[in-house]
Chains A and B, each alone.
Chain A
Amino acid sequence: EVQLVESGGGLVQPGGSLRLSCVTSGFSFIGYAMSWVRQAPGKGLQWVSSVSGSGGTTWYADSAKGRFTISRDNAKNTLYLQINSLGAEDTAVYYCAKGNRGYNWSYFDSWGQGTLVTVSS
């Protein structure tokens, strides 16, 4: 059974930083692209960033470029998202999602339960 478990969320002050983690199990981690998708309060799902199975290629939404860094440790079956210079607009539940292939993937076939990031002073 595929399992994705996020952690690292919490209350952080504006301008602060946070690193989210997603520990996975139940599939060959290196074989699949992984992504972060977020949902702000009262809003819809928003794709944030993705990384290929090998970790060699990354993609970012315009809203994430420059402040977000996605990475993965294939030895630990873990996905990460480093977020710097946090602002109120980053307040959201952040979901870890598995792609259907390692590269040139099309959809997210498994998701975690999410971790809540709240940016407030």
Chain B
Amino acid sequence: DGGITQSPKYLFRKEGQNVTLSCEQNLNHDAMYWYRQDPGQGLRLIYYSQIVNDFQKGDIAEGYSVSREKKESFPLTVTSAQKNPTAFYLCASTRIDSGAQPQHFGDGTRLSIL
């Protein structure tokens, strides 16, 4: 079955540590996205990528980094510069056609500080 796989489901970060969240899709989608969701809040865009080896900052990119070396993969690194990393992180992907297409989401990674 095609879909988006995020791992791990739960992740704990120590002070000063970088952690990487995995996102893989086998939907052959061109565009991939990372969002952050805080309790009771909407989704905020961290980074997105429309094509391999290219990505753009979203609204809250500070303290995060990404790479897009393969079409299927878009890992997110939460760096030690992100002082408040505790949140629910969601990866999404979509086709790029004329007009906007809905995004399909992975089941998320919950990140907490130890």
Partners in one complex: no
On A, residues with C-beta under 8 Å from B are: none
On B, residues with C-beta under 8 Å from A are: none
